[in-house]
Amino acid sequence: MEEQMLTRYSSDAKGKAVQKALIYTKKEHGIQKDLLDPEAVRIILHLRNYGYEGYIVGGAVRDMLIGKTPKDFDIVTNAEPARIKRIFRNSRIIGKRFRLVHIFFGDKIFEVSTFRSLVEGTTGNSFGTMDEDVQRRDFTLNALYYDPIKEQVIDYVGGVKDVRAHRLVPVIPLKVIFKDDPVRMLRAVKYSVSTGCKIPFMLGRAIRKSSNLLEPVSPSRLTEEIIKILNSGRARPIVHEALRYDLYMYLQPAAASLIDGNPAFAKDYEESLGKLDELVASGEETRLGRKLVFFIESLIKVIVKEKIPPSEVYGRVYAECRRFVMPMNPPRVELEFAVRFGLKELGFNVRMPRVRERFPGNPDRDRKRDETAEFPDEARDTGKPEGTRAPRRRRRRRSSPNATSASN
């Protein structure tokens, strides 16, 4: 069958044609058009009309190959960010070092990137060709390009076969893949859980051996990865695998330590993650703070067993939970919500004390934040509709003597 397949060619240094990729037709890949987002197709058509290439890439192609509707559609092109921005009015360029374009259609955001080269390695930011771009993809199941116009999948690395065989195969050599970007270890675990692909022995050994490379990763990147786990609907098995591959101690060191040394805590923590997955699977729209409850409720149960004066319960629990989730750095209001929700679930009707906060750059001016509402995001009962303000009293301007005499 492979002999009859279409092939993509490129030229070597001498100008000789070299086979680069296999091209799967609609009959061969089986992707149904109803899985496509029409706005993603519109973006690619618009790029083509301006003379540029455009393809759906990565996880969306993987999902469509197995008959699953993708959550996101990432697009790649040979147009550079500034040019994409000029083509699409409803867009903006993001990122300082690795520049991408976000194109907006209502509440949907499509991420459009430019082919990257290998000039600066697998994490550089130089623009290149598709032939180079594919070598920077982490795993073969994410290195597939889909042309929705011709309905073809372009496969440089055997990704279609790996998806169908449930294999997780790295594109980048094992000796550099995690040194270049340690977060790829977390992605490997997430892909394994979400796709059912097994982590091969050598890849698993490389992950365990390289797990300490996560230690210097910035809190912002780790926070982003943890939030993805919270939103995945597969938090329980992902955390289980992250623990198995010695990764969770860098994502949530306090939790990993308690899980390792306290079987009762470990059991309760796992059950909480299971409840989180059920909430996400229900499709209910929930704020981050509601999901964070399941990350911290096992710790709250431990803390409230101690004899703490009622007036100190909230402050003590909040401080302990803030330390517990580090290096994750969620917005304060979301963690506050999670702590108070968790305490309420255990029967504590806690009111937050007034907190004096200083204005940045103005140490002499304080503001009092009245947080006596049961939850921070609920409107206080002021007797007025939410969002209304009391009328401001107008101050009378004092006339200067000069102004008075002039008027006379």
For residues 112 and 91, give the distance between their C-alpha atoms in angstroms, rounded to a whole number: 10
Indicate left, alpha or beta for 10 from its phi (over 0: left) and psi (-120 to 50: alpha).
Answer: beta
Q: Which of 72, 131, 180, 268 is catalytic?
A: 72
Q: Is 25 exposed, middle or buried (0-12, 13-18, 19+ CB in 10 A)?
A: middle
* Catalytic-residue membership of 138: yes
Tell me which residue of 279, 25, 326, 285 sits closest to 146, measured CA to CA: 25
Q: Which of 37, 63, 74, 155 is catalytic?
A: 74
For residues 159 and 261, give the distance between their C-alpha atoms in angstroms, rounded to a whole number: 41
Token pair listed for 66: 């197995």
Token pair listed for 69: 């509707």
Structural element, H or E, at residue 20: strand 17-24
> How far does CA 39 lie from the centroid of its chain?
22
What's the angle, vertex CA 351, arms to CA 365 and CA 381, rounded to 5? 80
* Catalytic-residue membership of 72: yes
What is the torsional sign of CA 9, 11, 17, 20? negative
What's the angle, vertex CA 112, arms to CA 286 and CA 188, rounded to 5? 65
What's the angle, vertex CA 206, arms to CA 201 and CA 209, rounded to 5? 125
**Cβ(78)–Cβ(52) under 8 Å?**
yes
For residues 361 and 359, give the distance between their C-alpha atoms in angstroms, rounded to a whole number: 6
Q: Give the list of residues 6+ apart from residue 219 with CB closer than 8 angstroms, or none.
A: 326, 327, 328, 329
Tell me which residue of 260, 263, 335, 261 sits closest to 297, measured CA to CA: 335
Q: Which of 37, 63, 133, 138 is catalytic?
A: 138
Active site positions, annotated: 72, 74, 138
